[in-house]
Structures are given as structure tokens and as C-alpha cells.
Amino acid sequence: KKRVVSGVQPTGSVHLGNYLGAIKNWVALQDTYETLFIIVDHHAITLPYDTRQLGKATTDTAALYLACGIDVSKASVFVQSHVPAHVELMWLLCSSTPIGWLQKMIQFKEKSRKEGVENASVGLFTYPDLMTADILLYQSDFVPVGEDQKQHIELAREIAQRVNHLYGGKKWKKLGGRGGSLFKIPEPLIPQAGARVMSLTDGLSKMSKSAPSDQSRINLLDSKDLIVDKIKRCKTDSFAGLEFDNAERPECNNLLSIYQIVSGKKKEEVMEECKDMSWGTFKPLLADALIEHLSPIQVREVKILNQSNTFLRVCPISSMFCSFHK
Ligand code: TYM
């Protein structure tokens, strides 16, 4: 069986972008592939974070994986920091990664902008090597992610090729090395719809956990009232009717795409259904479709958290850091 690896950081609450870009697609892969879904807590400490929150966010993210349909009888679900080999491999990979490759990473540039590059943590800079380790450690074939992770997967491929070239192959076999390819070259799996869910308050920026306004995103655990309110207040435009793929209407494209995926309809169906609608008609329809899709996930999440206190352990790094602070 081919192998699939992916993960979500336990930072803040999991939102619709994480779900439609990644987790929802993982569910469909469990039957066909050997799947590993990681809660990547070491990634979550690369930006300033609340030590008391990390353990809880780790448990909550694991519970959400299961509530979204990840089935532990088919997939392996685990916490990154519980497997020290991730950080160990990362160090080996870091030592074969040219600094220039990391300097090109868009996410580093974006995430370090606020504090300035000089003040960003070294962990934030080497973050793509840790992600590469997550993938290469398991000789993964496929990595299902949203569009924003594409550059990191491309880097992972380049690092794998470089290490294979430097330390694999015939030349090393002669010297007693392993020979052959050390690492498989992984491929990204980016969904056709949902790969880039945009903010509710600005159709040109991606929906993200770090955006200051909670109005900009739908969190998977938002209450019905909150979903209705966020959709009611989300940014729209003053064009007549609704349409996909008009570059002048990014919000319209985003909201229709979200509606398409959560309602399980085809794009053509949604086009036909919504083309003459006003925002006043469409918004309640979208809010209802979101609530209908997310409610069962929310019910399952509560059940899982109530049942499995013993199976979901607190992650060691958070408890270690918490005790430093006492
Ligand atoms: P993270 O935690 O930022 O996001 C988790 C997943 O959600 C996707 N995503 C989105 N998809 C569509 N629209 C959006 N607005 C949106 N926002 C986020 C991301 O593409 C991602 O798939 N570095 C990774 C986590 C990671 C990882 C890995 C992934 C660590 N190791 C190994 C795959 C394999 C990250 O920060 O994702």
C-alpha cells in the first residue's frame, strides 16, 4: 500500500480552511492508503504560544480529527513530539539544507514579518526541515495539504533528492554505505475545491488561525448562532447575481465554493441554483448548509472528548514547558 502523511498544528482552533483543504480529504484516503495523521505540536511552538494552551489544543485537535471521520482502526493518529525521531531526522536534514533554500520560503517571510526576521525564532526558520522530516521519516508517497503548503512539499522533494544524491547511490555503496535511494520523493495531493479557502472579511487573503479577527473564519466548533452571525456579516459585493471565477468578485467565488463543498453539490448545480440569487437569499442558505455539515462533527467531538480522557494523553513538550513556568 502507498503511504499518506499529513498534519495540522495545534494552534488556536481548527477552521474551515484546515478542514476543507486538508482533514476532509484525509478521510477519503483512509481506505485506499496506509495513512498517518499527526498533530504537529513541535511546529506549534515556532511562534510565541501559550504553554497552558498547547496540551489542550493538542488533545482538541486529535479529537477533531476523529470527529471529522478519521478512523483509528484504519489510520495512525499520533502527536509529533511523542516520536523523537522527527526532531532527530530534522537535524540530519537541516545539516544538508542550504540556508538559501529556507530563505525562499514564503511562509517564513509572512510569519516573520510582524516581529522582523531578526527576532523570528530559529525554529520558525527551520520549520520546513521539520515538516520534511515528518514526511520522509515514513517514506511517504503522498501528502494531502492545502495550497499554502505546496512550497514546503516542493522543498521536501528537493531535500530528499539532495540527500539521496549526497549520501545514497553507488559511490557510497562502494564505501560501505547503504546505496540506492535513501528517501522516497513525496508528492503533494492538493484538492480541486477547497485548497485555498479565503477569509470571510477579505476575499483576497487566506482564511487563517492567526488573523486577528475571529469574524474572518468559521471554526469547526463555532455555535450555530455564531455561524449565522459570521455569514450575515461577511464581506460581499454589489454585483447582480452570483458567479464563480470572476476575478473582480473574490468573496463571491469563495462563498460559492464553500457552499458547493459543504452541500456536496456539483459546481454546475450551484451555478444554476445561485446565479440569480441576491446575497440576502444566499447567505441563510450558506449558513444552513454549514450548520448541517458541521453539527454532526461537533456532536461527535463532544462525545469523543467525554469518552477518551485516558486515550488522549497530554503532550510531553507542553507539560515540560508548563513546569518551567511554575
Ligand atoms: P497548518 O496547521 O497551518 O494547516 C493544516 C492544513 O490546513 C491547510 N490550510 C488550508 N487549506 C485551505 N484553505 C486555507 N485557508 C487553509 N489554511 C490552512 C494547510 O494547507 C494544511 O494542509 N506545516 C503544516 C503542518 C505540517 C504538515 C507536516 C503537513 C507539519 N508537518 C507534514 C503535511 C505533512 C502547517 O502548518 O499546516
The model's pLDDT over 238-282, given as tens digits with 9 standing for 90+, comes to: 999 999 999 999 999 999 999 999 999 999 999 999 999 999 999
**Substitution site in 14, 18, 81, 205 for ligand 1 pocket (most atoms within 8 Å of beta carbon):** 18
Nearest CA to ligand 1 atom 1: 8
* Mean pLDDT computed over 41-59: 90
* Mean pLDDT computed over 156-175: 85
Distance 9 CA to ligand 1 centre (A): 7
List 24, 206, 230, 283, catalytic entry: 206
List the Cα angle 145/146/151 in 5-degree steps.
85
**Cβ of 43 below 6 Å from ligand 1:** yes
Show me where the domains of the chain are located: 3-195+309-325, 214-305
**Cβ of 35 below 6 Å from ligand 1:** no
Residue 269 phi/psi, 5-degree rounding, is -60, -45
Flag whether the pTM goes above 0.90: yes
Inform me whether the pLDDT recorded for 324 exceeds 50: no
**Cβ of 22 below 6 Å from ligand 1:** yes
Tell me yes or no: is domain 3-195+309-325 CATH 3.40.50.300: no
206 catalytically annotated? yes
Residue pLDDT, tens place only, 276-319: 999 999 999 999 999 999 999 999 999 998 886 544 554 445 44
Distance 281 CA to ligand 1 centre (A): 33
d(CA 130, CA 316): 18
- When pLDDT is cut at 50, 70 and 90, the band that residue 178 belongs to is low
111 catalytically annotated? yes
Residue 64 phi/psi, 5-degree rounding, is -70, -35
Q: Which of 63, 68, 62, 76 is nearest to 20 (CA)?
A: 68
Residue pLDDT, tens place only, 78-105: 999 999 999 999 999 999 999 999 999 9
Burial class (CB in 10 A: 0-12, 13-18, 19+), 84: exposed
- When pLDDT is cut at 50, 70 and 90, the band that residue 325 belongs to is very low
State the closest ligand 1 atom to the C-alpha of 197, by its place in the atom list counted from 1. Answer: 13
Distance 7 CA to ligand 1 centre (A): 7
Residue 319: per-residue pLDDT: 46
Contact 190, 146 (CB under 8 A): yes
What lies within 8 Å, CB to CB, of 157 at 6+ separation is: 185, 186, 187
List 209, 235, 265, 267, catalytic entry: 209
**Substitution site in 8, 76, 150, 152 for ligand 1 pocket (most atoms within 8 Å of beta carbon):** 8
Write the class of the CATH domain 214-305.
Answer: mainly alpha
159, amino acid identity:
I
